[in-house]
Chain A
Amino acid sequence: MQELRELAKKLLLEGTVKVVIGYAEGRRGVLPIFAVTPGEAGRLIFDPRCVQNLATYLSPRREQVVALGRPAVVVKGCDARAVAGMIRESQRSRDDLVLIGVRCGGVLADPVSAVEVSEATVAARCPGCDARVPKHVDHLVGPLPPAPPGTSALDARIAELEALSPGERFAFWRSELEKCVRCNACREICPMCFCVRCVADKAQPQWIESSPHARGNFAWHMTRALHQAGRCAACGECERACPAGIPLNLLNRKIARVVAERFGYSASGDPESPAPIGTYRPEDGEEFIL
């Protein structure tokens, strides 16, 4: 913690950055802060309650944040994958940013009531994480906690769903997506949903119905899941933000698996590594066309 605070203060005092985006203690738990003074930097913390993906604040759409000036941002491994995705897709340039990586042992599924990471309290996406020490960052702080315990409940759930018939799977997703009220929290919080004009907001033509009925919700979520294919950083924020409790992580994780099988690619923390969405290799399979 002290390491992080000293580093942040130094970066601000030297003028290397104008703002450090990190985590701090709020009235009710951890929240993101935008420290512009060394005093504010003294509030920075990092612990398993720091679930938010701060990479999303780097989107050029966020004018108030952009106006603060050159940022440093505190990133876990999953967050760093999102930053890499934004750089890879030309939303930010690497020189524009200072990345402060934090070594991570998993975050809490419920950061308000739980305090320590255990098999019962850890977030479902954390077990098995291979990015606990973020690479491709400018600084690395914090001790390395033990690996998140247990195995991912997500994989178990995906296996259950894969064992169902297509009809049963459809019924499952229908009942989940019916709960959606189209608040777009999943989209607004996602670092990779940075389109200034989302396809769902287009009215001419209206590709995706905006009403929160089963049909419109399906169109929205399937489209978003496919637009995230190969790009999703698996940070889990969409599911955390969803006020209807829809298990969006399952969709994104399944599609990431398909991308890995087909293209041998998983979202990477290295902005230089080419992603399937923008790269062609002669050996890419074409059986879905022919």
Chain B
Amino acid sequence: MTREMHISEPDLRVLAEDLVRGGTRLIGPARPPGKDGAVVYREVKGLDEIVLVGDPPARSLKEFFLPPTEVLFTYRQKQGDVELAPAPHVFPPQVVLGARPCDAAAVSVVDKVMDWDYHDELWFGRRQATTIVSVACSGGDASCFCTAVGLAPDVAKGSDVLLVPVEGGFHAEILTEKGEVFVAAHATRFAAGGRSEAAMAYRAAARGKAEANLRADPAKIRAFLESSFEHPIWEGIALRCHGCGACAFVCPTCHCFDIVDEAESVATGARRRNWDTCQAAKFTLHGSGHNPRKGQDCRIRQRLMHKFAIYPGRFQEILCTGCGRCVRICPGGMDLLEMLDRIGREPAAPGEAGRGAP
């Protein structure tokens, strides 16, 4: 299925211009205008704004498929009766240019839960409207660990087209039908290509760099998590955690949400879904006051179990793509690489492991 082509940088620039001129929303990793803030995925007007190779943007692609807040429907009340108006789930076309492979892979991982028995029209409406053109990453920084979760800086998963930087442009792998449609629409920008030694070398170097950060056996980690619910390790790990949820909010695969009603006026309002996090104390708080996950140790355990045991058990996918954002953002110094390394060295059955503070 994979076709290999080449696109020069000037051609890519024109392609980007064509997209914007044609009314397609162009999204890429870019700095906010006028400030020296962190690179984030945002709407851009041209290739010059996009930072094609570098560390992952501060936030993930998640917000383009599951916005931080999203109207599900609106309501209007009149005299004991109610009218509902659904939120549209057909969206204008958009192209992500310069997605990091870990972020593209994450979107396809979350597809699984969004399609679990009930098809989430809002998520898939946005998915349908979006073409993801990734750029192979050069190996990330010390907090990246994509290879430890079965992915790689050049992984194809989730991308429609994968660009690999080579001299003067990019080697292009067309991975999906949507990718074919995209390339066909801009056929004049692409040149025939084939195997590229330079691209292969780039990819191999990137993988080597990422692998150096963490070697882990996801099966061993899952086995530990499934048998260590009451292990003392959780208390120690939880001590420095603030339960702030910054990790969940920057994470490309965290998708938990809250549903709330908000009045706009006396008689009208909207029901929304908002990003939420299992790290918040009130996530599982019952109306009666009972909280099954009362302490931070329970909550951090849930985070790790959901990502590395529960989701894989249900959907055969790890709910983590090793992007390292949680490590970079955590104000309390929580380090997932350290935790996974630690867990990977624990025996599967609880032994005399210590309290757990690394």
Contact = CB atoms under 8 A, between A and B. Distances in A.
Direct contact of A and B (CB under 8 A): yes
Nearest to B236: A34
A68 B119 CA distance: 47
Interface in B312-340: 327-329, 331-333, 335, 337-338
Interface string A14-42: 00000000000011111111101000100
A243 B333 contact: no
A26 B338 contact: yes
Nearest to B331: A241
Nearest to A188: B244
A201 B280 CA distance: 11
Given A28-B327, A64-B239, A181-B275, A201 B296 contact: no
B282 interface: yes
B103 interface: no
Nearest to B239: A34
A58 B262 CA distance: 36
A212 B331 contact: no
Interface stretch (B19-27, B125-133, B157-165, B245-253): B245-253
Interface in B226-254: 235, 238-240, 242-246, 248-250
Interface in B36-79: 37-38, 58-59, 68-69
Interface string B264-302: 000000001011010010100000000000111100000
B258 A64 contact: no
Contacts of B333: 26, 29-32, 52
Interface string B170-200: 0000000000000000000000000000000
Contact of A183 (B142, B143, B244, B262): B244
A3 B248 CA distance: 39
B100 to A, nearest CB: 17
A63 B339 CA distance: 21
A113 to B, nearest CB: 10
Q: How large is the interface on B (under 10, 10 to 19, 20 to 34, 35 or more residues)?
A: 35 or more
Q: Which of B244, B328, B338 has the most CB of A within 10 A?
A: B244
B249 A183 contact: yes
A265 B275 CA distance: 39
Nearest to B143: A28
Contact of A34 (B38, B248, B295, B357): B357
Contact of B37 (A27, A68, A187, A245): A245
Contact of A243 (B239, B246, B258, B355): B246
A240 B68 contact: no
Given A56-B242, A189-B244, A237-B331, A209 B249 contact: no
Contacts of A242: 246
B30 to A, nearest CB: 14
Interface string A184-222: 110111000000000001000000011111001000000
A243 B58 contact: yes
B260 interface: yes
Contacts of B280: 184
Contacts of A88: none
A272 B316 CA distance: 58
B260 A211 contact: yes
Contacts of B337: 27-28
A80 B202 CA distance: 50
Contact of B297 (A29, A64, A213): A64
A237 B242 CA distance: 12
A86 B329 CA distance: 26
B331 A210 contact: no
B132 to A, nearest CB: 22
Interface of A: 26-34, 36, 40, 52, 56-57, 62-65, 68, 112, 181-185, 187-189, 201, 209-213, 216, 237, 240-245
Interface of B: 37-38, 58-59, 68-69, 142-143, 235, 238-240, 242-246, 248-250, 258, 260, 262, 272, 274-275, 277, 280, 282, 294-297, 327-329, 331-333, 335, 337-338, 355, 357-358
**What are the 6 closest A-B residue pairs judged by CB atoms, nearest first?**
A31-B333, A185-B244, A188-B244, A241-B331, A185-B246, A183-B249
24 contacts: A26-B338, A27-B335, A36-B357, A52-B331, A52-B332, A56-B242, A63-B294, A64-B235, A64-B238, A65-B239, A182-B275, A183-B245, A183-B246, A183-B277, A185-B331, A187-B244, A188-B245, A211-B262, A212-B68, A212-B274, A213-B69, A241-B242, A243-B58, A243-B249
Given A185-B245, A212-B275, A216-B69, 16 more contacts: A27-B337, A27-B338, A28-B335, A28-B337, A34-B239, A56-B242, A57-B240, A184-B245, A189-B242, A210-B260, A211-B69, A243-B246, A243-B249, A243-B329, A244-B59, A245-B37
